[in-house]
Amino acid sequence: MEHSSLDILHVDGKLRLKFFGELTLYNLTSYQKTVDSINFSRETDVIIDFMELEFLDSAASIFIYNLEKKLLSDGIQVEILCKNEDILEIIHLVKNQKQISTKIAHSAKRGILEKLGEHTYQNYLGFLSFMAFMGELFSNKICYIISFKNIRYKEIAFEINESAVKAFGIVALTSFLIGLVVAYQSAYQLKIYGANIFIVDMLGISVLRELSPLITAIVIAGRSGSAFTAQIGAMKITQELDAMRTMGFDPYKFLVIPKIIALMITMPILIFISDIMAVIGGIVVANIDLGITVDLFLDRFSEVVAAKHFFIGIAKGPFFAFLIATIGIYRGLMVKDDTQSIGFNTTKSVVESIFAVIICDAVFSIALTNLGI
């Protein structure tokens, strides 16, 4: 680095700061101490002389800008002497940039209408994104099932094992406890009126038609739906999806559709298991609390509970499965390039899946009731 120095002179009643050589970040500290030690209160005019300066970097230019601004605020006239175009250019660049940055006003607090409009617009964009995903999904699904050679049986079997077979235990236990609790709470009220036997009617219809499909769907949404989101989200972060596309593999055919088909196949089976376990829970309570034997319970069950209730519950399975798998996969594809996004979208996946399942179940109930089924 070339020799650099600072001379402090008084010429014609003006204070002159004359810089020589280079003024950079590396020697700026010593110059700043020297300038800070000067008593400017007695001065009316200050000249910053760069006539002998050969190089000035951005850090030094910011220092000169701040010094000039401080002197001007104290009512001292400042004059910069320089013939080097490069030095003048960087001084003007820093000055203009500083002036622009100081003009940026703090954003005003947004009103309720503005927040509502932004939220509505974001939901609209999310709806369009989901519709685009559904369109691509259906187009790929049609191509997938149009020929048997396109069906990936091994991937579907793997997903059946992961999303359904391994969920048998938790679905069975949950349904058994639900049947137990519903029967126990009902038994308390039925004993008051001596209508113990009607526990079979209430439990059979409510479990087969509504409770078992709904409870199974909620359990699967929390277990398998969230797993779909986390798995695909992690693959997106690690760029495995991009690698698949680069190698010519369509992620929809290899990841998305097998998961949806597997869950649509196994959801009716899971609902059937749920029906059995919930009824067993009801039998236990009816036998212990109401004195209804197993034979009497089953005889009454076959008499009063029509088969249509069972088939209606089973028929809901593929629709619930499609909603859970589709929302879970869509949320996985929406994951950004950070791990926090996985947790956020996994949570939204479970919440949206449960909400969609409840809405679908309500639509079923309204439609079938109006049809007299």
Using the Cα atoms of residue 240, residue 241, residue 243 and residue 247 in order, give the sign of their dihedral: positive
Q: Could you identify the residue written with the tokens 């593929």?
A: 318
pTM over 0.85: no
| pLDDT value for 357 | 92
Pairing of strands 5-11, 77-81: unpaired
Q: Could you identify the residue written with the tokens 């850090």?
A: 59
| pLDDT value for 105 | 52
Cα–Cα distance between 4 and 156 in angstroms, integer?
75
CA distances from 346 to 318, 325, 327 (A): 22, 12, 10
Q: What is the pLDDT along the chain (373 residues), one digit of tens a residue?
A: 456 787 777 777 788 888 888 888 777 788 788 888 887 777 788 888 888 888 888 888 888 888 888 888 888 888 888 888 888 888 888 777 765 555 445 556 777 888 888 888 888 888 888 888 888 777 776 766 666 666 777 888 888 888 888 888 899 999 999 888 888 888 777 777 777 788 888 888 888 888 899 999 999 998 888 888 888 888 888 888 878 878 877 777 778 888 888 899 999 999 999 999 998 988 888 888 778 888 888 888 888 888 888 899 899 999 999 999 999 988 888 888 777 888 888 888 899 899 999 999 999 888 988 888 7
Cα–Cα distance between 101 and 324 in angstroms, integer?
49
List, in order, residues 6 or more apart from 171 with CB less than 8 Å away: 216, 219, 220, 270, 273, 274, 277
Q: Pick 5-102's CATH classification: 3.30.750.24, 3.40.50.1370, 3.40.630.10, 3.90.226.10.
A: 3.30.750.24
Q: Please tell me whether residue 17 adopts helix, strand or coil conformation.
A: strand
Domain ranges of the chain: 5-102, 128-370
